Amino acid sequence: MSNVLEHYQYLHQIPELGFEEHKTSAYIAQQLEQAGYTVTRNVNNTTGIVAQYDSGKPGPVLALRADMDALGHIIDGKHCARHTCGHDGHSSILLTAAQELIKENNIKKGRLKLIFQPAEELGSGALAMIEGGVIDDVDMIIGLHLRPKDECPKDFASAAMYYSASTTVEASIHGIPAHGARPHLGINALDAATLAIQAVNTIHLAPSLTYSVKATRCICDAGVTNAIPSEAYVCWDLRTSTNPAMNELKAKTLNAIKLSVESIGGKVDINVTKEIPAAEIDNDVTKIIAEAIVDVLGKEGLKDPIFTPGGEDFFNYPCQRNVKAGFWGLGADLTPGLHHPEMKFDTSALENGVKITKACALKVLGK
């Protein structure tokens, strides 16, 4: 048995929000240093860590990535951080695999890089690590995520997770205030917001594409009900299964918002505040992961690729830099679902995660 449960139990009871993973990263960095890795803390002034092991022989540079952050929930009226996306599981799996790989002295060529990134849930952790230069010398990067039970039960794993692109658009709409008795002298920001929401709802992409766009927040209040409101704030959530489709959907959304607000004389400031690219998965890396899964779980343990409308900021690595990427899903009998405040999974699945992670590393850096 490995140390994975010990690491998991420690990390699970110190959940920290994105960019605040101080205790989490201190623990991981210290464990990695003890194991013999060269560790860089505070990558790009964040809580991110990169650790490296150089075999001293020529060969590829493989990066393995785990995320460290918890989610902010409101439970019983109190704000609290909780690991409801299983990032404590991912970190424990990678930490344990990293320790065992060195202990067993099986890395025979190239370099192994471990990326423990902050703030996946904020959508900006991977970008911060990329700006810190951590993958500039990397040839291949692999990430993983625990999967809900209905998608992939324990003792099964999928070698490719096709996540979707997601984008948040925020619009501040400016009208002109007026007395409720003289609406012709004002420009009603609430009317403009309604027009913008309706205009976005009429957007169509080709029916063969998978996408959705919907307003998710609308705030407009002049403080009184007998005046024309002059300010409104609206948000939209956009999802597509591919990056080209997101480019099209985003352009059409921005255009629809601008033209509809301007059609009644309003002005609008539009910001794209969060952008996560869709999965860009390399077939060679997927093959390596699939072989590793079969080695550990048998042929019957290998599930088909999974397509999900969820987002994962991991895909900034292949989209921002020229690096081959693979991303796999680990079955862990996870219920009732990711991000649910009472999310639970079978922690004995972590052992499978360690074995598959090690097998992937050795297929690339073993003899």
Interface contacts to Zn ion, rule CB under 5 A? 85
Residue 360 labeled ligand binder: no
| Least separation in angstroms between CB 106 and Zn ion | 29
Q: Judged by CB, which is closer to Zn ion: 132, or 148?
A: 148
Q: Which residue has the tokens 């609206």?
A: 234
Q: Judged by CB, which is closer to Zn ion: 7, or 147?
A: 147
**DSSP conformation class of 219:** E
| Least separation in angstroms between CB 276 and Zn ion | 11
The H-assigned helical ranges of 14-157 are 22-35, 87-103, 125-131
Residue 121 labeled ligand binder: yes
Q: Judged by CB, which is closer to Zn ion: 82, or 355?
A: 82
| Least separation in angstroms between CB 145 and Zn ion | 6
Tokens of 6: 């010990």
Q: Judged by CB, which is closer to Zn ion: 59, or 123?
A: 123
Residues 6+ apart with CB under 8 A from 268: 171, 172, 173, 174, 192, 196, 257, 258, 261, 262
270: alpha, beta or left? (left if phi > 0; alpha if psi -120 to 50): beta
| Least separation in angstroms between CB 86 and Zn ion | 6
| Least separation in angstroms between CB 85 and Zn ion | 3
Comparing every residue's Cβ against Zn ion, the nearest one is 85
Q: How far apart are CA 337 and CA 231, in angstroms?
A: 38
Q: C-alpha distances in angstroms, 254 versus 66, 167, 216, 266?
A: 34, 12, 15, 15
- Asked if 211 and 200 count as a contact pair (C-beta separation under 8 A), the reply is no
| Least separation in angstroms between CB 146 and Zn ion | 8
Question: Residue 118's Cα: distance from chain center in Å?
Answer: 10
Q: Judged by CB, which is closer to Zn ion: 70, or 297?
A: 70
Q: Judged by CB, which is closer to Zn ion: 85, or 365?
A: 85
Assign 3-state DSSP to the chain and report helix, strand, coil percentages, each to 5. Answer: 35, 30, 35
Residue 87 labeled ligand binder: yes
In the chain, count H helices and then E strands: 9, 18
Query: Element (H or E) spanning 354, and its range?
Result: helix 349-365
Instruction: Please state the residue numbers annotated as binding site for Mn(2+).
Output: 85, 87, 121, 145, 339
Instruction: Please state the residue numbers annotated as binding site.
Output: 85, 87, 121, 145, 339
